[in-house]
Amino acid sequence: MTITSAEFVISNTDFRRCPQADMPEVAFIGRSNVGKSSLINYLTGKKDLAKTSSKPGKTLLINHFLINGKFHLVDLPGYGFAKVSKTQREKLRKIIEDYIMFRPQLTNLFVLLDSRLEPQQIDLDFMEWLGQSGIPFSIVFTKSDKQTKGKLMQNIDQYKSKLYETWETLPPIFITSSEKKEGGTEILDYIGKIV
In the list 97, 98, 179, 186, the residue contacting ligand GTP (rule: CB under 6 A) is 179
3-class SS letters over the chain = CCCCCEEEEEEECCHHHCCCCCCCEEEEEEECCCCHHHHHHHHHCCCCCCCCCCCCCCCCCEEEEEECCCEEEEECCCECCCCCCHHHHHHHHHHHHHHHHCCCCEEEEEEEEECCCCCCHHHHHHHHHHHHHCCCEEEEEECHHHCCHHHHHHHHHHHHHHHHCCCCCCCCEEECECCCCECHHHHHHHHHHHC
**Binding flag, residue 44, ligand GTP (CB under 6 A):** no
**Binding flag, residue 138, ligand GTP (CB under 6 A):** no
**Binding flag, residue 115, ligand GTP (CB under 6 A):** no
**Binding flag, residue 143, Mg ion (CB under 5 A):** no
- Nearer residue to ligand GTP within complex by CB, 53 or 88: 53
- Nearer residue to Mg ion within complex by CB, 64 or 154: 64
What is the closest distance, in whole angstroms, from the C-beta atom of residue 82 to ligand GTP in the complex?
12
**Binding flag, residue 37, ligand GTP (CB under 6 A):** yes
Residues in the site for Mg ion, rule: CB under 5 A?
A: 36-37, 58-59
Residue ranges binding ligand GTP (CB under 6 A): 30, 32-38, 52-54, 56-59, 77-78, 142-143, 145-146, 177-179
